[in-house]
Amino acid sequence: MRKILIGIVVLLLALVAAAFFGPRFIPADSLKAEISEQVRAATGRELIIDGDLSFTLLPAPGVTVSGVRVSNIEGAQAADMLQLGAAQIVVALGPLITGTVEIERVVLVEPVLELEQLADGTDNWTFAPSETAAAADTGDGGGAIASSGRAASIQLNDLVVRDGTVVFRNPAITERIDGINASFGAASLLGPFRAEGDLVVRGMAARVNAAIGELEFEQAIPVSVSGGVGESELSFSGLLSGFPNQPRVAGELEGKTDNLANLVAAVSGEALPGGLAASPLAIKGDLEADTGAVALNNLSLAVAGINATGAANAALGETPEIDLILNVGQLDLDKVLADFQSGVRKASGAPARAGGAPAGGQKTGPTGSSTAAAPEAAFALPTSLDATIETKIDALLYRGGVVRQAALIAQLADGELTISQLTAQLPGSADVSLFGFVTARDGLAAFGGQGEANADDLRGLLTWLGADVSAVPLDRLRKLALTAKLDGVPEQLNITEIDLGIDGSRIRGGVAVALRERLGLGIGLSIDKLNIDAYLPEVAGAPAPAGAAPPATRQPRSGRIATPPGQGGLAFLGGFDSVLQLKAGALTYRGKSIQGLNIDGTLAA
């Protein structure tokens, strides 16, 4: 930072000296060479003035120059780091006579600043002054600044930028800020500083307003920054301390937007689903940051009707580390999904089909003609980022029921996502848990892990999930205990080592599911014992098995008469292919006992 300031000061002082002494005694060409030499000594870069250089002495010393260029480093894409269409500097005459440089006004017309970082880490904003200039710039940074009377005796009242451009490049990205129209001021090179202006980011109008107090060695310095992009606002108010050796800031950060989709588009260039297009966002927290880490504590977040609290921390090392904790008291997922579907329908201009899929199954162009789907990029998790997320939802309203204590703990490291905890308490006195790993496998997202579920009221759980179990006798579907291993990619799921207990029966084995247009199932299960009769509804007039309770003890439900075996439709069998291997130690059906049942068959179109 000090080297950048030195370069700017040398350039300004050289132009001021030229304005005061140059008009009568120094030819313009000689003065151009002298200014270039001073800048080269301070920064190690070439300054070239292609245009005119003119001076005024009264009523105030000033210089006007056009066609200014500052060279870039070797290997940079742009030949020049800085280009200026024109510049004007006006200096107050009275203070100059007493030895104080008070620059009344600097106007930079159409400046273009190219900031670039090369693949080897070299950047073009680090200057390399000549040996003479470097020798004059030794010692403690804070002491040098504090002991320099020149820093405090140079005042910049107003620096105006008209139609400026800043470009940042590295091997991964190129970002551009255009239409910069701003005003800057500094009571001295040590501040206080102010800045305000407008600019264009990713095609969206933005605004910035900032104020920084006077830079004092190891003192608390007030900082205030606010700005916005489109409908979004962001502000920070706090203190800067530890200047200049270990600078750190602490204060309150607050932001809000009325349209989350527009903000995401401005920041990342990506579009959000239509259901989130008009969602508001509000964030507030205590920000602490230094050169190696950023922390946002006492975080409160509200987005799309969801209110959360927590904290976020980031360590900015060679491999950044991010930790995020979010806690939600209550989330009405039914409402969120309804709002999302409504937004999708509005965005598409047509009612969505069940599941939210557009009719037809093909993507269409602006005129409705079908277009081929773009090839999907290979799935990969970042290897240069470590992250941990912990989130908990106390009460999640879904399908008219309440899911309690839903919790997730996941870690991203070395290109692998570890889900160490995913748990929830479901209706039906049930609880589920899952842990495992998400990795990239042949360009696809892959999951491998183990799940567990237990329920003391299986009937209540199935009813909440939408299954009609009213025909099953009330003394059945009581308890469930399940463990299984899962492994799969988007088009294939394997469930192995199944150990399922339902009421008094135990089922073991595995299931393979091929998720394609025509579902494919591979089922290999063994059951120790199952009383099928106990799960079938009573049929009016049917004889009761020997030893069963009198018919009066089991009444038909709401007049419903079950369909006798053999009369049900089998049309659903045409929707999938299946390979079935089923073994049963003992089955009871229609009062008959079946021992050692072994079924091995195939169902195909």
Confidence grade of residue 303 (pLDDT, cut at 50, 70, 90): confident
| Range name among 204-213, 259-268, 399-408 with the lowest pLDDT average | 259-268
**Model confidence over 103-129: pLDDT tens digits?**
889 999 999 999 999 999 899 988 877
Q: How far apart are CA 171 and CA 221, in angstroms?
A: 36
Residue 178 above 70 pLDDT?
yes
What is the phi-psi region of residue 600: left when phi exceeds 0, alpha when psi lies from -120 to 50, beta otherwise?
Answer: beta
Lowest mean pLDDT among 79-83, 303-307, 406-410, 589-593: 303-307
**Rounded mean pLDDT, 231-242:** 92
Q: Is the pLDDT assigned to residue 146 strictly greater than 60?
A: no
Name the percent of the chain lying above pLDDT 70: 76
Please report the beta strands in 187-280, taking only residues with DSSP state E, as ranges in sequence order. Answer: 193-201, 204-212, 221-229, 232-241, 248-257
Confidence of residue 12 (pLDDT cuts 50, 70, 90): low
- Cβ 320 vs Cβ 386: under 8 Å: yes
Q: What's the whole-model pTM score?
A: 0.68
Bond before 273 cis per omega within 30 degrees: no
CA dist., res. 292 & res. 288, Å (int):
11
**What is the predicted pLDDT for the residue at 442?**
87
Q: Tell me if residue 463 falls in helix, strand or coil.
A: helix
Alpha carbons 155 and 13: distance in angstroms, whole number: 12
- Cα distance between residue 482 and residue 379, in whole Å: 31
Nearest Cα to Cα of residue 32 among 45, 50, 20: 50
CB-CB contact of 402 with 332 (8 Å):
no
Q: Is 259 helix (H, G, I), strand (E, B) or coil?
A: coil
* Residue whose pair of structure tokens reads 């301070």 in the numeric block: 42
Element (H, E) at 104: strand 101-109
**How far is residue 540's CA from residue 543's CA, in Å, rounded to a whole number?**
9
Beta strand 386-398 pairing with 401-413: antiparallel
The CA-based angle 564-569-571, given to 5 degrees, is 160
| Residue 95 main-chain phi, psi, to 5 deg | -60, -30
Q: What is the pLDDT of residue 548?
A: 47
| Mean pLDDT calculated for residue range 461-473 | 92
**Helix (H) and strand (E) counts in the chain:** 9, 30
Least confident span in 88-102, 302-316, 420-434, 462-476: 88-102
Q: What is the pLDDT of residue 67?
A: 93
Which one-letter amino acid corresponds to residue 604?
Answer: A
Over 90: is that where the pLDDT of 199 sits? Answer: yes
Q: Which of 71, 169, 69, 176 is nearest to 123 (CA)?
A: 169
- pLDDT of 53 reads 87
Average pLDDT over residues 375-397: 88
Nearest CA to 525 out of 502, 499, 503, 504 is that of 499
Please, are residues 477 and 518 in contact by the beta-carbon 8 Å criterion? no
Mean pLDDT of 252-265: 80
Least confident of 15-24, 303-312, 435-444, 465-474: 15-24
Name the pLDDT band for 14 (thresholds 50, 70, 90).
Answer: low
- Distance in angstroms (rounded) separating the CA atoms of residues 10 and 475: 91
Q: What number is the average pLDDT over the span 353-359?
A: 41
pLDDT in tens, 56-72: 877 778 889 999 999 99
pLDDT grade for 377, boundaries at 50, 70 and 90: low
User: Mean pLDDT lowest for which of 50-59, 62-71, 154-163, 211-220?
Assistant: 50-59
DSSP 299-366: EEEEETTEEEEEEEEEE-SSS-EEEEEEEEEEEEHHHHHHHHHHHHHHHHTSPPPGGGPPTTSSEE-T
Q: What is the mean pLDDT of residues 365-378?
A: 49
Mean pLDDT in residue range 13-32: 60
Average confidence score pLDDT of the chain: 81
Closest CA to 359 of 349, 517, 367: 349
**Confidence band, pLDDT 50/70/90 cuts, at residue 378:** confident
The larger pLDDT score, comparing residue 162 to residue 257, is at 162
3-class DSSP assignment, residue 375 = coil
Quote the pLDDT of residue 510: 96
Neighbours of 410 (CB within 10 A): 18
Q: Residues 294-323, buried b or exposed e (16+ Cβ, 10 A)?
A: bbbeebebeebebebebbbbbeeeeeebbb
pLDDT at 322 over 60: yes
What mean pLDDT do residues 375-399 have? Answer: 88
Local structure of 139: helix, strand or coil? coil
**Distance from CA of residue 218 to its chain's centroid?**
35
What Rg, from alpha-carbon coordinates, does the chain have?
36
* Cβ-based neighbours of 49, under 8 Å, separated by 6 or more: 32, 35, 36, 65, 67, 68
Asked if 448 and 436 count as a contact pair (C-beta separation under 8 A), the reply is yes
205-218: average pLDDT: 90
pLDDT at 13: 60
Mean pLDDT of 524-535: 93
Chain segment 399-416, per-residue pLDDT in tens: 999 999 999 999 999 999
- pLDDT (mean) for 584-595: 91
Retrieve residue 370's tokens.
């079908």
Give the three-state DSSP class for 507.
strand
Span 74-101, average pLDDT: 87
Of the pLDDT bands very low, low, confident and very high (cuts 50, 70, 90), residue 230 is confident
Q: List the Cα angle 125/130/134 in 5-degree steps.
A: 85
Is residue 517 packed enough to be buried (19+ CB in 10 Å), middle (13-18) or exposed (0-12)? exposed
